[in-house]
Amino acid sequence: MNTISWDWKYHDVAGEGSSQWSFLQFAFYNGTNYFLEMYMGRGDDYMDGNSSTTARIRVPGFGTRDSWEHTELDLYDIMQEVGFIDLKISSILFETYYYGGILGERVEVLIDNFSMETHPLANPSFEYLDPYSTYDPFQGWWRYSSNGEVTPSTMMHSYSYSANITVAPFGAGTADGLYRSELYFEFDPSLFIDFWWRLEDIQSTSETCAWMDLEFINHLGGNSYLRYIVGRSSAYVISNTTNVKWIDANGFNQTSSWNQLYRNVTADIENAFSISADDWELYQVMTLVYADAGMRTSLLIDDFNYKDGVPPSIDSVTPPSSVMYYDTGYVRTVASDVRPGVARVVVNYTTDSWSTWHTTTGSYSTVNDWFNVFIPMQAYGTTVEFYVIAIDGGGLETIDDNGGSFYSYTVGDDVIPSVSFTTPSFFEEIEGQVSIVIEAVDSGSGVAFVELYIDSGVSMPLVMNDTVAPYEYTWNTDVEDLGTYTLYANVVDNAGLSNGAIVNVTVVDTLAPELNSPDDIEFTVGETGYTIDWDPTDVRPYGYVVYLDGAFYQFNNWNSSSEHIVIDLDGLAVGTYNFTCVVVDGTINGAIDTVFVTVNEAVVTTPTGASSTTTTTSGPTGGGDLMTPLLVVAIVGVVGILLVVFIVLPKMKKT
Ligand SMILES: [Ca+2]
Ligand SMILES: [Ca+2]
Ligand SMILES: [Ca+2]
Ligand SMILES: [Ca+2]
């Protein structure tokens, strides 16, 4: 960017057409001459086309007459547009032309306030040789005399050349050098000179001296000089005067090495002259090399630059606050710089106490006049430490590391975990060993633990606290009462945030009791010791009824799955009996089994020789009553729900 601006007022003669114009012309040179002509006006309001070496543009306001216009353009941008690349400006010219024939008429342009940002010393690194013999030999630099030799040297500090100033007089002592004048350059306390020099030879048996001289104009009357001595024999006498102050350069008298003259000009003036430098302007820069007769002094100079010497200031740093694992860290920095301005703000940050670190560059908010630097998302619990660097356009840096302790923040988690029951499902009827599987996820800090409570309506014990997925629990519902339960899952993440899920289930019993099927029994009346032994099992035994030949015979609660139902058959009369056992559980699931008992007559055989007589002895006669509703009612009175057994007989298991 190179902004040029000026104010102008154009007047021409009505009716005189294209024979009158005014433009601002920049001439460039790189072995060929190029011209950029920026027209403020032309009599016919028209303009000629371009050639390969001349580009013409109409500045904004072109065609306006007799009123002030302000023009502001970026010269660099225009050069890029018209294809003038890598050129040096060789002249700036305002041209106004009138080839007219009307007596007393005129083309007139008023120009005011022309400004352009440019280096105070053209060709500061002595790379461009003069094609016009205006200078000798470097463009933009005048020779002090022709008594020595001033030549480009490939012993350079930058690019291709330095300037070699060598004086070796045979007659009287003499000096030569290079200077750049009429600078009228304003400076301020943040501006430094940054000159490079290399003393190649200084024969000092007599008077000899080499210095860099800054000449100032001020309001004291008369010009004033700061002389930085880079080489001087002891015979060369110097003395400060009112207007001339001598300062030994760092590296003074050192030969064959490049030395930097880096000085705060304001400070040097104020120290040397004991006066404020506020109203001083730099008028001229000169390097002068002197040798006495028969002696030789040779000095190389290169890179005469003015540099900003004041780094930016960081006025405030606002660290990120409440940064969550899904957040980008947001560092807001207010920084300022007198010259040339803050170029960028960067943040160096670490998540491992500086074993490794990263750099991220901020973006400038023109709205808020601050720099935003974003630190990428980090995992929960990460402690991010950082410091801020502001860098100005000249590369000077200022670091704000919070007084050495760094800025920091720790990444949080404010999102509750998610939790749900995979099994069982809502309103599911369950029994036996029930697998409870809970899905719990937390993408931020992660799941710390999952709790499971089983609420029976009476109590709500914690039955599981699991810290590792999968979160599973096997619930033995066989030991639970039948009925409705609420399962509560409670998940807690590592940030202490929790979430819950519930599922209602019903513990049921759909499994009929197991009832064994004893063999039918046959014995002879009078024999003893025979029994029917039923061994029913169920997790929830309830009651049983035994019918003899269809009639109610015996009933009781059946309380334990290890309990046997034993029918003593002693004393049964001869006959055939049907013992039927019905067992039911708490949910009216039943099982039934029938055992037939046959009691045979005893046979008496008369010994041989007598008539054989078989006597049948009848025992008690068996048989029973038919089951009657009355009996059923009686059973209901004892075992409560037994009536239902018969109503829902399809549930009954026949063994
Ligand atoms: Ca150079
Ligand atoms: Ca600065
Ligand atoms: Ca979370
Ligand atoms: Ca059962």
Distance CA 12, CA 651 (A): 119
* CA of 540, nearest ligand number: 4
Distances (CA, A) of 177 to 243, 290, 554: 21, 9, 139
Give me the residues near ligand 3 (ion), CB cutoff below 5 Å. 413, 415, 442, 444-445, 493
Q: Which two tokens stand for residue 192?
A: 């430094």
Rounded distance from Cα 155 to ligand 1 centre (Å): 9
Distance CA 332, CA 367 (A): 13
Q: Taking the CA atoms of 288, 291, 293 and 294 in sequence, report the sign of the dihedral they define.
A: negative
Rounded distance from Cα 325 to ligand 3 centre (Å): 9
* CA of 198, nearest ligand number: 1
Q: Taking the CA atoms of 212, 217, 218 and 220 in sequence, report the sign of the dihedral they define.
A: positive
Checking 425-428 for CB contacts under 8 A at 24+ apart, the result is 425/503, 426/503, 426/504, 426/505, 427/504, 427/505, 427/506, 428/503, 428/505, 428/506
Q: What tens digit of pLDDT does each residue of 522-543 get?
A: 999 999 999 999 999 999 888 8
Confidence of residue 629 (pLDDT cuts 50, 70, 90): very low
Rounded distance from Cα 343 to ligand 2 centre (Å): 9
Closest by CA position to 627, among listed 563, 543, 527, 555: 555
Rounded distance from Cα 111 to ligand 1 centre (Å): 36
Q: Which two tokens stand for residue 551?
A: 């009639």
Rounded distance from Cα 340 to ligand 2 centre (Å): 6
* CA of 125, nearest ligand number: 1
Classify domain 418-507 by CATH architecture: Sandwich (2.60)
CATH class entry, domain 313-410: mainly beta
Q: What tens digit of pLDDT does each residue of 449-497 get?
A: 999 999 999 999 999 999 999 999 999 999 999 999 999 999 999 999 9
Confidence (pLDDT) at 655: 53
Average pLDDT over residues 311-317: 96
Q: Taking the CA atoms of 258, 259, 260 and 261 in sequence, report the sign of the dihedral they define.
A: negative
Q: Which two tokens stand for residue 394?
A: 């000249």
Confidence of residue 635 (pLDDT cuts 50, 70, 90): very low
Which residues partner with 28 through β-bridges?
34, 89
Distance CA 576, CA 24 (A): 139
Distance CA 226, CA 271 (A): 11
Confidence (pLDDT) at 179: 97
Closest by CA position to 146, among listed 167, 160, 116: 167
What DSSP element (H or E) covers 77?
helix 75-82
Confidence of residue 432 (pLDDT cuts 50, 70, 90): very high
Q: What is the mean pLDDT of the chain?
A: 89
Classify domain 142-308 by CATH architecture: Sandwich (2.60)
Average pLDDT over residues 429-437: 96
Domain map (residue ranges) of the chain: 3-116, 142-308, 313-410, 418-507, 521-654
Average pLDDT over residues 112-119: 87
CATH class entry, domain 521-654: mainly beta
Mapped to the 3 state alphabet, what secondary structure does 255-316 carry?
A: ECCCEEEEEEHHHHHHHHHCCCCCCCEEEEEEEEEEECCCCCEEEEEEEEEEEECCCCEEEE
Distance CA 488, CA 320 (A): 38
Q: What tens digit of pLDDT does each residue of 557-606 get?
A: 888 878 899 999 999 999 999 999 999 888 888 899 999 999 999 887 65
* CA of 340, nearest ligand number: 2
* Alpha carbon 200 to its chain's center: 54
Average pLDDT over residues 200-204: 89
Q: What angle do CA 166, 172, 173 make, to 5 degrees?
A: 40
Closest by CA position to 581, among listed 488, 645, 506, 511: 645
Confidence (pLDDT) at 340: 82
CA atoms within 13 A on the CB side of 399: 10
Rounded distance from Cα 499 to ligand 3 centre (Å): 10
Residue type, 607: P
Do 153 and 300 form a contact (C-beta atoms < 8 A)? yes
Confidence (pLDDT) at 102: 84
Q: What angle do CA 28, 34, 36 make, to 5 degrees?
A: 85
Rounded distance from Cα 80 to ligand 3 centre (Å): 55
Confidence of residue 85 (pLDDT cuts 50, 70, 90): confident
User: What letter would DSSP give residue 223?
Assistant: -
Rounded distance from Cα 396 to ligand 2 centre (Å): 6
* CA of 126, nearest ligand number: 1
Q: Is the pLDDT of residue 63 over 90?
A: yes
Checking 555-562 for CB contacts under 8 A at 24+ apart, the result is 555/635, 555/638, 555/639, 555/642, 557/639, 558/583, 561/536, 561/537
* CA of 311, nearest ligand number: 2
Domains 313-410 and 521-654 share a fold: yes
Do 251 and 135 form a contact (C-beta atoms < 8 A)? no
* CA of 496, nearest ligand number: 3
* CA of 158, nearest ligand number: 1
Q: Is the pLDDT of residue 610 over 80?
A: no
Question: Which of residues 607 and 305 earns the better pLDDT score?
Answer: 305
Give the number of other CB atoms < 10 A from CB of residue 225: 18
Confidence (pLDDT) at 608: 58
Rounded distance from Cα 438 to ligand 4 centre (Å): 28
Do 410 and 383 form a contact (C-beta atoms < 8 A)? yes
Residue type, 213: D
SS3 content of the chain, % helix, strand, coil (to 5): 5, 50, 45
